[in-house]
């Protein structure tokens, strides 16, 4: 029984580590997509500025 509990802890630790790595990769790829898609976001930012949403940031 004690051996099974240790195995469960190892599986849980491996799952947390895997989730952490996947989240880092997702954040890194998200940053790359943001840089690549900046041109497509410009009209949306301009539209928001024209509507007054970004007045506090300018």
- The pLDDT of residue 55: 60
pLDDT score of 26: 82
pLDDT on residue 15: 93
Q: Report pLDDT digits (tens) over 1-51.
A: 567 788 989 999 999 999 999 988 888 776 655 555 555 567 777 777 777
What is the predicted pLDDT for the residue at 3? Answer: 75
User: Domain residue spans in the chain?
Assistant: 2-57
Q: What is the DSSP string of the chain?
A: -HHHHHHHHHHHHHHHHHHHHHHHHHHHHHHHHHHHTHHHHHHHHHHHHHTTTTGGG-
Q: What is the pLDDT of residue 16?
A: 93
């Amino acid at each position: 029984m004690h051996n099974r509990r240790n195995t469960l802890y190892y599986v849980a630790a491996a799952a947390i580590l895997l989730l952490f790595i996947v989240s880092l990769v997702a954040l890194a790829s998200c940053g790359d997509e943001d840089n690549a898609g900046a041109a497509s976001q410009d009209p949306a930012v301009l539209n928001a500025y024209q509507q007054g949403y970004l007045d506090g940031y300018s």
